[in-house]
Amino acid sequence: MIKTDSFISPAAALPAAELATLDNGVRVVTVPLPHLRSASVAVFVRTGSRNESAKLNGISHFLEHMAFKGTATRDVQAINLDAERIGADMNAYTSKDTTVYYLNGLGRDAPRMLAMLADVVLQSTFPEDEIARERDVLLQELVEYEEDPQSVVSQLLDVAAYGKQPLARPIIGTRRHIERITREDLVDYVRRHYTGANLVVAAGGAVNAAEMQALAEELFGHVPRGEAAPVETVAHVGGLQSRRRAGISQVYSSIGLPLPTMKDGHQAGVLAATLFGGGMSAPLVDQVRERLGLAYHVASEAETSDVHGLLIVDAITQPDKLMAYLRTVGRLLKEQAAGVDALQLERARNQLLVQAVHKQERPFSAIEAAAEQLFVHGRLIGADEAVAQIEAVTAEQVRAVFETMLRAAPAIGLASRAKVGEVMEALQEGLN
């Protein structure tokens, strides 16, 4: 599975999280939620498409698939049955910066689930026959993405925003990459990236912190420390990337403008995105959909990580409405840069606070947020601090985010059946 976003959320609050660090650098975080009977257990590896070479683009995702295809003690059928016989949901995803393996099940089975994950993450054997079969599966998955206009536009936006930088590479890779990745490539990638410095082992829900920490030491204490994944600065490029697609009657559009990174006070950027298009009463949605009828689907969100931030404005509209839509988006962005409405700021702030509370109440969301905090900040962010960060953002800070965005070149990804007109000019017309 591919996860195309990099932590689209506020800094999530964590209820009474406990952290232990093993001698080899593996961090073990537990979020006990004793009122629950369920649990989520996960292994987070700090590597994704941005850590790949141009030659091996897509290997993180290929490896995520192959981890479940056989270990030193179990074949793929046994791996699947072992999880399902206890009613657990076993899955994984790859994003631009992280690969995640997880199980959701009953709290009583949390130790067993962690042992299963340790087996697939650390003991996979990558049988050649399974590689051949899974390569075909991945090529089928690639076709699905290539036939989905929204997925195509998302990838086009990445290229428009980041050019030839690693962050612009597709998480799934390309057909050429998928066809040439070998078993030796997979083994070497695990050796270099699946190390103590890049691992967070986490459990949340009906779990015993001391028990999970002791088991994590037993299962992961032997992993070589290795080196933490390098963090490289990413530059926003901007520009237009479009693709003609037969079989669609609408225009799929995605606009990107730079936001602060998670290391640079991203709360103001997330608040700006939520204020702009994060609800039916947000200016973007109210104007584009409710008042002007230019699109049925339109929204904005913040995509942020430790090295990048991007305001993403997505819409699906008709070809004859595209130019009016782009001019409207430009005008609305310009209005926010001139001044932020107090009522809209209150709405957006409370939406983020509710999201933070929801994350506290969901075991997997809580440990996912904890892992991201450890990778980015090297520490956990408590509930009170997370709420305080959101509440401390001022209207002037949000306005300044919009002002800074408008000084950058917009990035635009478009997919349409027909040739589109002067897209960038229409957006700039609204901005001016």
Active-site positions read 64
Question: Of 236, 261, 305, 333, nearest to 96 (Cα)?
Answer: 305
Pairing of strands 27-32, 295-304: unpaired
Rounded to whole angstroms, the Cα distance separating 186 from 133 reads 15
Distances (CA, A) of 33 to 9, 351, 401: 21, 23, 36
Q: In what order do the strands lie in the sheet with 239-244?
A: 239-244, 411-416, 251-258, 309-317, 295-304
Rounded to whole angstroms, the Cα distance separating 27 from 228 reads 12
Rounded to whole angstroms, the Cα distance separating 310 from 300 reads 10
Task: Enter the DSSP assignment of 21.
Answer: E
Rounded to whole angstroms, the Cα distance separating 202 from 329 reads 41
Rounded to whole angstroms, the Cα distance separating 141 from 135 reads 10
For tokens 């990804």, name the residue.
413
The SS3 call for residue 145 is helix
Exposed/middle/buried for residue 396 (C-beta within 10 Å: 0-12, 13-18, 19+): exposed
**HEC sequence for 323-366:** HHHHHHHHHHHHHHHHCCCHHHHHHHHHHHHHHHHHHHCCHHHH
Contact 223, 24 (CB under 8 A): yes
Question: Of 212, 225, 192, 200, nearest to 25 (Cα)?
Answer: 225
Exposed/middle/buried for residue 307 (C-beta within 10 Å: 0-12, 13-18, 19+): buried
User: Which ranges of 41-101 would DSSP assign to H, the alpha helix?
Assistant: 59-66, 76-84
Round to the nearest angstrom and report the end-to-end CA distance of the chain. Answer: 41
Rounded to whole angstroms, the Cα distance separating 148 from 143 reads 9
Rounded to whole angstroms, the Cα distance separating 340 from 275 reads 9
